Every structure is written in C-alpha cells, then in structure tokens.
A and B are shown apart, each in its own frame.
Chain A
C-alpha cells in the first residue's frame, strides 16, 4: 500500500469520526427523540464506513461480516425505536 493511499484512508477516517462527533451533538441535544433516533441510525452508517476503511487499512477481509451486521442491526434498532415512539410498545400483544 502506498503512502498516498493510506494517507487518503486516514483522512477519510478522520472526516468520518468528525461527522460522528457532530452526530453525537444531535443525539445528545435532541431536541426530540426522533432526532436522536435518526442521529443514532446515521452513526451506525458511519460505523459501516469506518469499518470498511479499517478493513482496507488493515488489509483484511475479516471485518466484512461486521459491515453487513451493522447494516442489519441499525435497521432493526431504528425500527424498534420508531415503533416504540409510535405505539408505546415494541412487540404487540396477541389478539386472541
């Protein structure tokens, strides 16, 4: 890996972590819970990016599973929180 290439990866990492920090501001300050949920979801997507960059940096394929997993999990978490905000419960009671 050339120096230039790794330099670019580092810069990308730096930029994305800055973006996480900014998202953190939204998550902490809010003002409403949907704002926080969207912030958390976006943090998850940023995690995917960072993990991908790390995989490039470390020259490994072991982290690819994580990228897929974060994708699924942030989706599930967001849906769960959204449902909670909407209905007050995550899992509906049986209707029998």
Chain B
C-alpha cells in the first residue's frame, strides 16, 4: 500500500511532461493538484487504524543480499509528517497555479515539486535506514533544482549551490552515522534499532553515531552553525519557499532527531547538544530576523529560529516537551506556510519584497493583511487563545521550567534555558510585529512601488486562508487534533501512549503565562523603538556570521586545491619525471627495508672473463661520456658505442638472435635520430643551476643504485627452478625447430609476438598520421 503512495508522485512526475505537451490551455498545476489531494485523503483514511494503536506497513525487496528492503511503515510521527507534506503540498500546488504564470517553465517546476514530494514521503515513511538516506538525498537534489528554478539569475544559482553543498555535506555525514548505527545495532531497520537501544548506547561507536547523525539533522534543519543556506534559498519561487523551506524539508532534520530520539534521548550528550544548538539557533535566528529588510529574509530567519525552538524541545526529551515539539511542528507549518504565501502575494501585487519600500498596504489588500496579522501574531505567541502559536509556545516555556527537576547532571546548563527561551521569544515577537506592521500599516509609498497594489486573486488567497483557518481553529480547539494526530506522534517519539489534555488556560498563577506576558511587554517596547536600536546591527557587522565562514571555507578549498595542483602540475616534464622516480626509489627502498628484502649470494655466479669486463668498461665510459657531449650528432655516435657494446655482450652470452636484432635496431635508431636532427635546433648548453644539477644527479644515482640492488636481490633469491628446461627439451619435439628462441616466439608464446607486431603496426600508423596531418590539426603547441 505505502509503496503506491510513495510511487504516486514519482509516476505523476513522469507523466506530467506528456500531459502538459498535449494540453496548452490549462495551467499544468491543475493536473498536479489531484496527486497531493488524493494522497492526503488516503493518509487521512488511515487515521482510525493508527488511533487503535496499530501501524500500517509494507515491505518489498530491493537489495536482499545487503539487507536493504523497501520497508515502509506509518506510525504517529510519520502520519503527522505525511499529512503536512500532502496537505500543505496540495495548498502550495493550488497557490502556485495562480502564482506562476504560464510563461514559466511549468513542467520543470512541477516535476521537481513532485519529485520532492515523493522523496519527502519516502523519508518520513522509511523504516530501512539506507532507504531513508536515499530519499534524504533525493530531497536535497530536488530542493537544489527548485531553488535554482530561475537558473538565469545569479543569486538563484548561488543559493542552490550553497544549499546543495551544505545539505549534502550533512547528508554524507548522516550516511556515516547510519552505517555505524547499522554496525552497532546489527540491523538496518529503525524499529529493530530502537529495540536494540542498549546495545547502541553501550557500544564504542555511540558518540560518533550521535555526532554524525546530528550534523545531518542540523544541516537539513538549518540549525546553528549550518543555518546560512536557508536565507539564500529564498531565491526560490515563493511556493517553493513556503513548501520546502518552512513546512517540510527543513523539518526533515527535526523528523530525524524525533525518529531516533527513542535511542538517544535520556543521554546527557544528546540533551546538551540538541538543546544547546537549538537554543543558540532560536536566539540567533530571532535576533538576526529583525535586521532583515526582505520579507522572505525575515521569514527565513524566523524559520531558523522556530526550528531551533522545536529542536530544543526535542532535546529536552520528556513527555510534555515532546508534545510541545510535535504540536509546534504542526503549528509552525500552518502559520509559516501562510506567511510565506502572503509575502509572495505582496511581492506579486506590488513588485517588491523590500519592507522599506512597503507600508500602508492594509487599505489595498485587506484580506491578505488580515491573514498576515493572524499568522504573525500566532508566530509571536501573543497570549490569545485564538492563536495556536501561543499554545505551543507556552508549552515550550512550561517544559523549559520543568527541566531542572528532571535532569540532575546537566542542571547548570538547564537553569539558563528559560532565560534564553524568553530572550528568543522576545525577538520573535519583535520581528513578527515588524513584519506585519511594517508591511501593512503606516503610510503607503506608492511612488516607490512598481505597480499599483491591489488585492490578490481569490485563487491565490484560498491556500493561506485555509492555513490561517487552521491557526484559529487549533487555537480555539486544540484537542481537535490532539487525540487523533498529536498523541500517536508523541507516542512514537517517546514510546508510551500518554494522552495529555491540551488547555490554553492554566490560571493566572503560573510561570509560563508570566513569561509570555514579559515577552509581550518587552517585545512591544522593543518593536515600537525598533528604528532607534536597529542601527546597532550595523555596528555589529557580519564578522561572526557563518555565511562568511562558509564563504571562506569554499573559497579556501578552491584556493588550496588550485595551489596544491599548481604545485606539481607545472607542465615541466623534468618535475614529473623527478616525482615519478623519487616515488619509485622511496617506496621501493622502504619496502626493501621493511621486508628485509635485500639478499646477496655468490653461489650461482658465472665466471667473468677479461673481454667481458673490458666491453662493460667501454659501455660505461661511453654512457657517461654521452652526458657531456655538446653536439647532438656527437651524442648519438657515442651512444652508438653503447648499443654496439650491448650487442657484443649478447654475443658473449650466446644470444645470436638478440645480437642480430640489437644491431639492426641500433642502426635504425641512429638513422632515425639523424632524420630528426635536421629539424631540431642546435643542442643548447644547459642553463640549469648547480643545485638543480645536484638534485638530478642524486635522483639518477639513487635510481640506478636501487635498480642494481633489486637486480642483485632478484638474482640472489631464486626460489624455484626456471622452466627453460622444458623449452630446451621440447623445442624440436613439439615445435619442430632447432632455434629455441624462435620456437618460443612463434610457437610456445606466439600471442606475445602477435601483439608486438600490432604495436609496431600502430606505431607506424601513428607516425604516418602525425606526419601527414601535422598541418591540419588545431594544436598550437
């Protein structure tokens, strides 16, 4: 069953191109819309099954030999995410129909979007960690494609590349964690890993697993210090920002932490890292959001901050915090999705997203403005029971206060959490107010806008309207989704099905409410005086921004690698030869030293005669003398002496065939050299420095010495008889020839000869080609 659910978007992505080619009149989005809607209904229909405490699952074989199965299962957590993906997916597709004109490359857009939808469903439904990873990378790739949708804009490609680098870095680190995890738990299934929890915690790999997994989760969910890709991803079309970068993909990391928290939660490391990073992200995101001037920039940092808050609560790991986290995942998806869509509407209807040029739009776009007010107030957590954001925020405060009692060891850290939470929330309040009041109230600056603003078409407003409807509905009746959706999700994160009643009123006498009131009071003051203290941001330049770190890492890597490459890729053959020879000498001599490979034995030596010694001496003198020759012709004559001496040695060692061949080759080589010399300039006197000459000398001598040593060792360590006796005995009997060398060449080992003939043929053809086509080529050198 679940396989078909996941396959459906991929199939639709395949078919959409065909449909769009046939039907020009209708916006392609209408053909895409049924896919998420149908999926949403299908997932809703599974709700009763889950409420009974059962799970839906299906398994198919993929790579059985590696224990990798396409096993999917649907529990409370997966259900929550699936509903978000398909539900918001439907709304986003509907919105995009009105947002994107038919002139855009719609097929590309919807193919990428459907790919993303399918892979995101795959991420949240997978039980096998490697299948999870596969879909995880699919989401990275489809997100990359969507961010770079307007690929002709420089900012888009930059943002796409950045998000790709960061999320794939995290994805690879997660793959490492998953591999270690499957080693430690001896299974690839997440549920079996949870069952083997103690084995994992006690294993030596626990800390590496935890860290690598969290890096994966933090990069995907834009947590500190990996958050800087998200603001740059705002170059994507607004439906994409609303869908991927607020509601779904950035929550994949949250999902990962929630999914594995049954394994890790309760350990101090997990608590400190996840909550700590979450809190830093919460505060940093909300503080940085207030300095943005772009609507989507504010929303991007706001997303970062809210994700930090969810991450913090997941780090707490107790029942109430998990419920708050799950609740806030849902709430954030509703209000942030709608806010993005409204930002898109503003952009669409006025032509700008710069908040400094906007203002007073309330009279022109009353519906959008109302929706924005609801969304932003919910985001700020204004203590009114019609905003769902308030409920989850208060639960956040509540859980941060209860922490001290529950955890002893990390208590010192825990004491500061409520304070940080309040600071983060104050700034959240500030930027939320800044966002709506800056855009919709005040004086309209019509002269600065590209078009005269007017209300968006109704089709564009449907999606944010529905989302804001949820904001209010859940705000008023939080228990509507509590039992059916939230409770099973909490159960699959914490492990026990404890149903907590959600209430928005706990009486005056409770601390979370006081904290909320403090947030509103201080936040209001700060928001009213925003213009006065905003210049502080200019005083604190982005020196500590992770964006700069990212830049310097990317540039540094490029710089470093080009420097490294230029260090040895100089184009100088002398250097390449030196490197090859030095490597040969060093590696071989180390090997000889380590294995104690040098042996010398005088057992099997042939007698040396005077003529041989003298011929050897002649060759040595001639070889050395060649180096000092100042003319090419002289050098070739002197090296000819070496060749003749070699053929003489062949005579001495009773190898007439070799001597014959050697003589002919020697003569032809001399003739060839002479042919070339007509075209070459006179031999130049070497202008090398003495130090370079010394290096060359050392390399040459050491190479020669090494080869001598190897030859001596090879001669001194013969482990078995040679097979030449067979050839001597059988050359006439089997080959029908007296000349053993020739019988070997054409009979016993004829294949070698064949290919050496081929080599000669190829060389001849190569020479013909080089001479004949030398003027026609494009090569300049």
The residues of B with any CB-CB pair to A shorter than 8 Å are 609-611, 614-615, 617-618, 621-622, 625, 631, 633-634, 637-638, 640-641, 644, 647-648, 651-652, 654, 656, 659-660, 663-664, 666-667, 670-671, 674-675, 677-678
Contacts and interface: CB of A to CB of B under 8 A. Distances in A.
Nearest to A12: B611
Contacts of A30: 634
Residue of B625, B633, B651 contacting most chain A CB atoms (<10 Å): B651
A7 interface: no
A2 interface: no
B622 A24 contact: yes
B678 A77 contact: no
Closest 7 CB pairs of A and B: A17-B614, A28-B625, A36-B637, A13-B611, A73-B667, A84-B674, A62-B656
B664 A80 contact: no
Given A17-B611, A28-B622, A40 B675 contact: no
B587 to A, nearest CB: 36
A81 B633 contact: yes
A10 B613 CA distance: 13
Given A17-B618, A88-B678, 13 more contacts: A17-B611, A21-B621, A36-B637, A47-B647, A50-B651, A62-B656, A65-B656, A65-B660, A69-B664, A70-B647, A77-B667, A81-B637, A84-B633
B611 A70 contact: no
Given A40-B640, A47-B648, A70 B663 contact: yes
Contacts of A76: 667, 671
Interface string A29-47: 0100100110110011001
A27 B634 CA distance: 8
Residue of B609, B637, B647, B660 contacting most chain A CB atoms (<10 Å): B637
A56 interface: no
Given A33-B637, A66-B656, A80-B670, A73 B614 contact: no
Given A14-B611, A28-B622, A89-B678, A80 B671 contact: yes
Contacts of A63: 651, 656, 659
A20 B664 contact: no
19 contacts: A13-B610, A17-B610, A17-B611, A20-B614, A20-B615, A21-B617, A33-B631, A40-B637, A47-B648, A66-B647, A66-B659, A69-B660, A80-B671, A81-B633, A81-B670, A84-B678, A90-B671, A90-B675, A90-B678
B120 to A, nearest CB: 74
Nearest to A70: B663
A36 B634 contact: yes
Contact of A40 (B617, B625, B641, B663): B641
Contact of B621 (A28, A36, A65): A28
Contacts of A84: 633, 674, 677-678
A24 B647 CA distance: 16
Given A17-B614, A66-B651, A66-B659, A27 B622 contact: yes
A85 B636 CA distance: 13
Residue of A18, A63, A69, A77 contacting most chain B CB atoms (<10 Å): A77
Given A33-B634, A36-B637, A84-B633, A51 B651 contact: yes
A96 B634 CA distance: 33
A90 B674 CA distance: 7
Given A21-B617, A28-B622, A73-B667, A54 B652 contact: yes
A28 B652 CA distance: 24
A73 B638 contact: no
Contacts of B609: 10
Contacts of B648: 47, 50-51
B640 A85 contact: no
B282 to A, nearest CB: 85
Interface of A: 10, 13-14, 17-18, 20-21, 24, 27-28, 30, 33, 36-37, 39-40, 43-44, 47, 50-51, 54, 58, 62-63, 65-66, 69-70, 73, 76-77, 80-81, 84-85, 88-91
Contacts of B677: 84
A85 B677 CA distance: 11
B663 A66 contact: yes
Nearest to A25: B621
Contacts of B631: 33
B606 to A, nearest CB: 14
Contacts of B644: 40, 43-44, 47
A7 B172 CA distance: 80
Given A80-B671, A85-B633, A73 B617 contact: no
Residue of B614, B617, B664 contacting most chain A CB atoms (<10 Å): B614
Contacts of B651: 50-51, 54, 63, 66
B664 to A, nearest CB: 7
B671 A77 contact: yes
B478 to A, nearest CB: 99
A59 to B, nearest CB: 11
Nearest to B679: A89
A45 to B, nearest CB: 11
Contact of B664 (A14, A17, A73, A90): A73
A21 B674 contact: no
A33 B656 CA distance: 31
Contacts of B634: 30, 33, 36
A28 B622 CA distance: 7
Contacts of B667: 73, 76-77
Contacts of B674: 80-81, 84, 90
B35 to A, nearest CB: 76
Nearest to B611: A13
A84 B674 CA distance: 7
B434 to A, nearest CB: 87
B637 A37 contact: yes
Contacts of A69: 660, 663-664
Contacts of B659: 51, 63, 66
A82 to B, nearest CB: 10
Contacts of A89: 675, 678
A65 B651 CA distance: 12
B735 to A, nearest CB: 18
Nearest to B738: A62
Nearest to A89: B678
A17 to B, nearest CB: 4
A37 B634 CA distance: 9
Contacts of B625: 28
A36 B638 contact: yes
Nearest to A36: B637
Contact of B610 (A14, A28, A90): A14
Contacts of A54: 651-652
Nearest to B635: A36
A58 B675 CA distance: 39
A28 B670 CA distance: 16
A63 B610 CA distance: 20
A43 B112 CA distance: 80
A60 B368 CA distance: 110
A14 B614 CA distance: 8
A31 to B, nearest CB: 10
Contacts of B610: 10, 13-14, 17
